[in-house]
């Protein structure tokens, strides 16, 4: 039986020399890989009490929506600036090379709701930290963060210390 790591394609020296790019498209392109990813991630949070699943554009949608569906929970979108039609809250944050803005609808999280944040990966933790701040700005309580892949060598876990982080696959390097 294949493990989840077996479905991840590694591309050396992309996007630059010395980087081992972990490509999850091969996970999603294989029905067994996709099922294993969703099932593994969902199993990691079976003991977690939460009301809402939140996922960031776009790969957070891929993994968060089926988990929300399977557990009969609402799914809330976090999108890039200017993509949501109703009143939003936003946060600017730093990327490795530049800045970005994330938004979510102002009425998407109710004060006191327990939130599970789902994404494809955590690397440096900047995007994850921004999502946490957005949820908390609406009065939500982050019950946990769930990712398919963690690049442990980039220390994203340290950036969100104090929050539960579950990852289906961990790579020690960058």
Alpha-helix residue ranges (DSSP H) falling in the chain: 25-28, 31-44, 59-70, 126-137, 156-159
Backbone CA torsion sign across 57, 61, 64, 68: positive
- Asked whether 137 and 108 are in contact (CB, 8 A), the reply is no
- Asked whether 169 and 5 are in contact (CB, 8 A), the reply is yes
Residue holding tokens 């969703």? Answer: 38
- Please pick, among 59, 79, 150, 157, the residue that the annotation labels catalytic: 59
- Please pick, among 16, 17, 87, 96, the residue that the annotation labels catalytic: 96
Q: Using alpha carbons, select from 75, 80, 43, 49 the residue that is nearest to residue 62.
A: 75
Residue 129 a catalytic site member: no
Residue 59 a catalytic site member: yes
Q: Supply φ then ψ for residue 110, to 5 degrees.
A: -95, 145
Tell me: cis bond preceding 107? Omega within 30 of 0 counts.
Answer: no
Residues carrying an active site annotation:
59, 96
């Amino acid at each position: 039986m294949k493990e989840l790591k077996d479905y991840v394609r590694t591309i050396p020296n992309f996007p630059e020399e010395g980087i081992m790019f972990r490509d999850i498209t091969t996970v999603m392109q294989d029905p067994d890989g996709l099922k294993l990813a969703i099932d593994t991630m969902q199993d990691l949070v079976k003991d977690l009490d939460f009301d809402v699943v939140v996922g960031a554009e776009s790969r957070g949608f891929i993994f968060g929506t089926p988990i929300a569906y399977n557990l009969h929970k609402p799914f809330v979108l976090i999108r890039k600036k200017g993509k949501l039609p109703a009143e939003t809250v936003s946060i600017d944050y730093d990327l490795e090379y530049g800045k970005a803005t994330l938004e979510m609808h102002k009425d998407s999280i109710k004060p006191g709701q327990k939130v599970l944040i789902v994404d494809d990966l955590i690397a440096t933790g900047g995007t994850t930290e921004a999502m946490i701040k957005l949820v908390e700005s609406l009065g939500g309580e982050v019950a946990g963060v769930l990712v398919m892949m963690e690049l442990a060598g980039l220390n994203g876990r340290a950036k969100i210390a104090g929050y539960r982080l579950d990852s289906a696959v961990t790579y020690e390097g960058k």
